Structure 1
Amino acid sequence: MEAPKSLTEWLYRPWTQLLLISFICFCDPGMYNSISGIGGSGQLDPTVAANATVALLAATAVAAFTVVPTVFDVLGPRGCLLLSGWTYPLYAGSLLCYNHTQNSAFVIVSGAILGVGAAFLWTAQGDIMLSYPTEGQRGRAIAWFWVIFNIGGAVGGFMSFGLNFKSKAGTVSDSTYIAFIVVMAFGWLLSVFVAPPNRVTRSDGTVVARTKHRASDLTWKQQLRAFTKAYSNWRIMILIPMFFCTNIPYSYQQNSVNGATFTIRSRSLNSALYWLAQVFGGLFIGFVLDIPSLRRSNRAKVGWVITFVLTFAIYGGGFAFQKWTNQRPKNFLDFSNVSEFVGPCFLYIFYGMYDAIFQSLCYWTMGALSNNPHTIARYVALYKTFQAAGGAMAWRINALHKPAMTQFAMNWGLLAAALIIASPALWTIKDTTEPEDDEVLKDQKNRDGFESVSRRDDSLDVKEALHGES
């Protein structure tokens, strides 16, 4: 493609938009992840943070399944990001307030508000990441996003590590929360530069979305029909257990492993390394899923096999760790004790790497099922619904102080079972997504007259029907 003639033309390129949404997530959910990764969100009593996370994820599940798809049709990605970004600094501010007032209700309510905001943010993010690149570039797009997003978590962890290096307290300092609030607010402001889909041109010259009418012209019956059609794909149905499991390990890993085993400064260091490991995990699986010499159907199978093998290799090590740590006191391990610290630290790193691989495989599979941005947005909303429901369940179990070994066994068993259940979906992925494979496309093409232009694996040009942003 020719060099951009103006800043606006450069801004409206798909990879620019991908970088932009990646940096927004670097600042907002990336910083949130670094707070959560410290264990108990940096608080001495992890119960408040666990209950706030339950409220957050429950709100995400409800919002993603009910209001987000319809609102996304009307507002588009930029509107959803502007609507949601302020909820992240609000939550960090509630933790700062808790440090001084012990106002747990404010933290829990802020968590619920953040849950609604997160549903909007992640639906916009998934739509940009999966529908803007061509089919042959989606693995790389996921890898790029995962790198930048999780560097945010790593940077936040190193910030906390530096600010709390000399701390002997059980909670992080006020300056830590203030730093997070500033970065999160900056990420919210970046949302103004997100472009409407119909202004974005792909690397092959095709336009992401061309609309003939406003999305707000849709009736509730049309919305319901599109909603039903999006979820009629049997492959999406059997992917739901994987969606449900993606956030389940966090409560155990962050509170029962990192929060209960390590000192505050070591928890901050582990949090940074955990999210840094996600960078490498995302890069690895992203490039595996885009290997040019392999057909897409074979890449799907290779991705599934790698993830399944790692499930037993990493969680096998986790089982040995949990038996070992059951015999130790809480918060006993500091990085100054190198001989004992190295093994558990590396296990925590591998947990982070596995999380990136598992979630990237989910995203890539959704992208392989449709090239329609409207359909993909609904798939991502469904993904966030069940991801949040699973996370809420796990955090509630953690808040009830169930034995760590029980939580670990639940995580391992559910992850392995979900991969087995989803295997027919991945083992039947086609080399390209044809129009007749997209249930929503078939229904909309005959009804609404909305169109988009999409490229199939850099070689096939197909027009699709969708409701885009005008």
Structure 2
Amino acid sequence: SDEAVCEEAATRLCTSMHWSSPSGQAAALGLIFFFCFSAYDTIQVFAKRLYHGDTGTNATLCVYAFFTVGCLFVAPIVAYLGERLSIAVGVLCYASLVVAGLVYLVTGYADWLILLGGSTLGCGAALLWTAQGSLILAYGASEASRGRVFAIFWSLYRAAPLLGGVLSLCYFSLQDEDHKSAGSPTLFAIFLALIVCGACCTLFLRDPTAVREPSEHASSRTAPLLSDGAQRSVPVNATATLRHAVTDGAMLSLALLFCASGFNEVYVLSEFSRLVSTRAVGLEEIAFYLGSCLGAQCSGRLLYI
């Protein structure tokens, strides 16, 4: 029938575009993070310049405090909401800091708005990253595609600050000397538009049970990556999560690496950058994350060869 022909044509189109493949879904997930973190990473790098006094530093403290604690509790919430909805909610929480920044600049620098936005963002970040971890592991369930999936996602994610670096370099270069060290409603409106684009990209995510490896054979196309009854283990409470984090050998061996990378993001980029010019910071952001992007691509490709 005509309906069957149309359905088959749509299936072939979807398969030919590889949108329902692990690589396609990793790209969709990467685009979400690309748009969202183009805004957030730029705000973080220029936090000392965008807000008055120590507001930027205190907001960063709120972000990571709520993010750290939230990660202990959000796994059951992600399991209840599902990964795709959790990611959408998490991205919208990132928008809260941008909206707070807009109101902050328009209404007269109420510091508590930025702190509230940072706290909300921290809670959303816990949702976002927990759901992302679940999805990316599901998309990379096949060892043959795992390295490629990781490389695609992390390259797009780490490319986000490249856009942010170019944006900040152009923006601050065009400002006069009196306003070169401050944010503006226009800049935050651009940030908000980027995060809205990221939220829209969540519409392209599919359930892992519907993600298929591309194949020329119809029988292969109908076989999902995960069976409908497949269940991914989710810690049911914060105690179990914390116990696993402090007793797992692999996690402990990587703890110093996590601390070093986290220290670099929060201190070196956010605090040390205030000592140099805005143009130098923009160029530094581009160079640093270009190296990170290339490293993600190479390490992902080499990880499972």
| Superposition TM-score tier, normalisation by shorter sequence | 0.7 to 0.9
Deviation at residue 141 of structure 1 after TM alignment: 2.4
Match of 1:161 in 2: 169
Cα distance 1:172–1:264, how it changes in 2: closer, same or farther (>3 A)?
A: farther
Comparing 5-14 and 136-145, the one that deviates more: 5-14
Residues 373-420 of structure 1: CA deviation (Å, up to 9, x unaligned): xxxxxxxxxxxxxxxxxxxxxxxxxxxxxxxxxxxxxxxxxxxxxxxx
Distance 1:5 1:226 in 2: 47
Count of aligned pairs: 282
Match of 2:82 among 76, 83, 94: 76
Cα distance 1:8–1:83, how it changes in 2: closer, same or farther (>3 A)?
A: farther
Greater relative CO, 1 or 2 (CA 8 Å, sep 6+): 2
Residues 246-284 of structure 1: CA deviation (Å, up to 9, x unaligned): 311223312343221x22233233223332232122223
Match of 1:271 in 2: 285
Verify: 1:128 aligned to 2:135, yes or no. Answer: yes
Could you tell me whether the CA contact under 8 Å between 1:35 and 1:157 is conserved in 2? no
- Residues 295-334 of structure 1 mapped to structure 2, 5 A cutoff: none
Match of 1:115 in 2: 122
- Please identify runs of 4+ aligned residues in structure 1 that moved more than 6 A: none
Distance 1:278 1:251 in 2: 16
Match of 1:62 among 55, 60, 69: 69
Deviation at residue 234 of structure 1 after TM alignment: 3.0
Distance 2:35 2:65 in 1: 23
Cα distance 1:8–1:115, how it changes in 2: closer, same or farther (>3 A)?
A: farther
Match of 1:435 in 2: none
Match of 2:272 in 1: 257
Could you tell me whether the CA contact under 8 Å between 1:258 and 1:270 is conserved in 2? no
Comparing 179-188 and 33-42, the one that deviates more: 33-42
Match of 2:254 among 239, 257, 260: 239
- Residues 154-193 of structure 1 mapped to structure 2, 5 A cutoff: 154-167=162-175, 168=177, 169-193=180-204
User: Which ranges of structure 2 fall in alignment gaps of 5 or more residues?
Assistant: 1-9
Cα distance 1:225–1:252, how it changes in 2: closer, same or farther (>3 A)?
A: closer
Secondary structure at 1:195's aligned position in 2? Answer: coil
Residues 281-310 of structure 1: CA deviation (Å, up to 9, x unaligned): 2223223324x3xxxxxxxxxxxxxxxxxx
Match of 1:15 in 2: 23
Verify: 1:142 aligned to 2:153, yes or no. Answer: no
Distance 2:295 2:150 in 1: 11
Could you tell me whether the CA contact under 8 Å between 2:35 and 2:198 is conserved in 1? yes
Match of 2:112 among 105, 112, 115: 105
Cα distance 1:158–1:224, how it changes in 2: closer, same or farther (>3 A)?
A: closer
Distance 1:158 1:17 in 2: 27
Query: Larger helix proportion, structure 1 or 2?
Result: 2
Match of 1:152 among 132, 136, 160: 160
Distance 1:12 1:158 in 2: 32
Match of 1:26 among 19, 31, 34: 34
Match of 1:409 in 2: none
Deviation at residue 39 of structure 1 after TM alignment: 4.8
Deviation at residue 202 of structure 1 after TM alignment: 3.4
Match of 1:198 among 185, 190, 209: 209
Cα distance 1:235–1:271, how it changes in 2: closer, same or farther (>3 A)?
A: closer
TM (norm. structure 1) is 0.54
Deviation at residue 6 of structure 1 after TM alignment: 4.1
TM (norm. structure 2) is 0.80
Distance 1:43 1:265 in 2: 18
The aligned amino acid for 1:155 is: L
Cα distance 1:174–1:188, how it changes in 2: closer, same or farther (>3 A)?
A: same
Could you tell me whether the CA contact under 8 Å between 1:34 and 1:272 is conserved in 2? no
Cα distance 1:213–1:277, how it changes in 2: closer, same or farther (>3 A)?
A: closer
The aligned amino acid for 2:145 is: Q
Cα distance 1:265–1:98, how it changes in 2: closer, same or farther (>3 A)?
A: farther
Cα distance 1:274–1:90, how it changes in 2: closer, same or farther (>3 A)?
A: same
Deviation at residue 225 of structure 1 after TM alignment: 11
Deviation at residue 11 of structure 1 after TM alignment: 3.5
Distance 2:71 2:150 in 1: 21
The aligned amino acid for 1:72 is: V
